[in-house]
Amino acid sequence: MARRGPRPGGADTRADILVAAERAFAEQGYDGATVRRIAATAGVDPSMINHHFGGKDELLMAVLELPMDPQPMVAAVLGASPTAPGAALLRRALAAWESGPGQLTIGMLRSSLHRDRTVGLVRQLLERRVLAPIMAEMTVPEAERPWRVSLLATQMLGLIMMRYVIRIEPLASADHDQIVTAVGPTIDRYLQGDVD
Amino acid sequence: MARRGPRPGGADTRADILVAAERAFAEQGYDGATVRRIAATAGVDPSMINHHFGGKDELLMAVLELPMDPQPMVAAVLGASPTAPGAALLRRALAAWESGPGQLTIGMLRSSLHRDRTVGLVRQLLERRVLAPIMAEMTVPEAERPWRVSLLATQMLGLIMMRYVIRIEPLASADHDQIVTAVGPTIDRYLQGDVD
DNA sequence: CTCCTATTTCATCACTTGTTGAAATAACAG
DNA sequence: CTGTTATTTCAACAAGTGATGAAATAGGAG
């Protein structure tokens, strides 16, 4: 029972830990997710986390390094509907957030918000993997893009928070259509309307 | 030294614990704020927290029960500028969030987001102490108010998150004026414009 | 003054946390 | 077949957590 040494078969312990950790961090936050429970879920010994990652902090870093990549979606939306991208963007974003990986991402976001160091990671990730791709596809003068994109981010993140985290009604139960018609114009204005 | 028994003078131990706990929860989150440190800051024994509140959970509940009351501000703004309340509302909100108590409130919000039970408290507080007062002052038909107010909340909360928690640039360093002109129209539309 | 009660300190408990080091073993190079 | 290395399990530690119960004491009631 539970002999020592490398596990037979090409078992990828490191990957097993990563998926267990992603769920744990997303569902229970950084403090709530214990090294021991993650290891148990992954079916390995707790000390494997230190062996493979160095410690709990580095494990979180590793997990945060694998987010959904929104670049294809952004390119598709902004390329396809240049005049009123808000509706299309919102539609795809809502679908993405309500998918399995999307919920995990929201959970990770949620659990990263209350530690200053992890908030820094979130900011970097947001800038590099979400806002930068959007800026690259925009048509307005380059100098305006950072400001417009940060405005866009406020509306998007606020929507996530209110609908999926705080779950305020009637927003939490609203149809996608309702949200798209209500919030779409805001997105359009932030992306290409009058903002100063 | 440190004799037992009630402290001489009308020392209000319970209140001392509350102010220490508010700061601690706001700055370090629920898990980060330890009973021992809170007690040390308040200058009392850790067991006083159990004696006066019953435990750490009940202490958090007690702290969450004392938020800023936005009702006067809301009434003033919506009463004074009925046609374009967005700008005035934003101006006062920005000032409020950047005040001492406002930062504390944001910290509390931040630290409450990653526990389901405390998120429930935040929702209740938000509905009762913020959204309800706003709805009471609105001029649009009553049936539309919950929906409009929840839209308003997404934009406001997103702004808080991006500017004060995640601190994305250039939003984090933007003037109040910039923000007001960029986001004000969004607020106006959510409060009295076309949203469906 | 005397008793009583609420308040406070102290010592300690039971538990969980992340982490470490040594021993055991599978896979691979030669 | 042999030696080496990386991987894994096991046992344990040091630190810190929230909580508890008993002893001590100040202030108010009678």
For residue range A74-98, list pLDDT tens digits in order. 777 667 766 788 998 999 899 988 9
Q: Which residue from B minimizes the CA distance to A113? A: B110
d(CA A70, CA A150): 16
Residue whose structure tokens are 């003033």: B76
Does the C-beta of A56 come within 7 A of strand C?
Answer: yes
Distance between B2 CA and the closest CA of chain A, angstroms: 35
CB-CB contact of A112 with A28 (8 Å): no
For residue A49, count CB atoms less than 10 angstroms from its CB and return exposed for 0-12, middle for 13-18, buried for 19 or more. Answer: buried
- SS3 assignment, position A118: helix
Nucleic acid strand D: bases within 7 A of protein CB = 6-12, 16-27
Two structure tokens written together for A99: 């998918």
Cβ distance A150 to B162 less than 8 Å, yes or no, reads yes
pLDDT(A148) > 60: yes
Mean pLDDT of B134-156: 93
Q: Is the CB of A9 under 7 A from strand D?
A: no
For B155, the closest of A126, A147, A155 (CB atoms) is A155
| Better-predicted residue by pLDDT, B190 or A128 | B190
Look up residue B165 and give its two tokens. 């928690």
Distance CA A53, CA A56 (A): 8
Mean of pLDDT values over A4-32: 81
Please report, rounded to whole angstroms, the spatial distance between the CA atom of protein residue B51 and the C1' atom of nucleotide C5. Answer: 15
Q: Indicate whether B14 pLDDT > 70.
A: yes
Taking the C-alpha atoms of residue B88 and residue A23, their distance in angstroms, rounded to an integer, is 43
- Asked if the Cβ of residue B9 lies within 7 A of any atom of strand C, the reply is no
Whether B163 has a pLDDT exceeding 60, the answer reads yes
Count of C-beta atoms within a 10 Å radius of residue A67 = 17
The verdict on domain B13-64 having CATH code 1.10.645.10 is no
Q: Do the beta carbons of residue B17 and residue B52 sit within 8 Å?
A: yes
Exposure string (b/e) for B130-148, b if CB count within 10 Å is 16 or more? bbebbbebbeeeeeebbbb
The angle, 0 to 180 degrees and rounded to 10, between the axes of the packed helices A85-97 and A71-80 is: 150
Structure tokens at B150: 């929840």
Does residue B83 have a pLDDT over 80?
no
Q: How far apart are CA A111 and CA A142, in angstroms?
A: 33
Chain B neighbors of A185, CB-CB under 8 A = 189
Range(s) within chain A of domains with CATH label 1.10.10.60: 13-64
Judged by average pLDDT, the poorest of A67-76, B51-60, B81-90 is A67-76
Q: What is the pLDDT of residue A108?
A: 83
Q: What are phi and psi of B105, to 5 degrees?
A: -65, -40
Give the domain A71-192 fold. Answer: Tetracycline Repressor; domain 2 (1.10.357)
Residue A69 — left, alpha, or beta (φ > 0 → left; ψ -120 to 50 → alpha)?
beta
Query: Once rounded to an integer, what is the mean pLDDT over residues B4-23?
Result: 79
Nearest chain A residue (CA) to B122: A166
CB atoms within 10 A of CB B64: 18
Query: Which pair of tokens denotes residue A186?
Result: 């805001």
Q: Where are the CATH 1.10.357 domain residues in chain A?
A: 71-192
Query: Comparing A5 with A14, which gets the higher pLDDT?
Result: A14
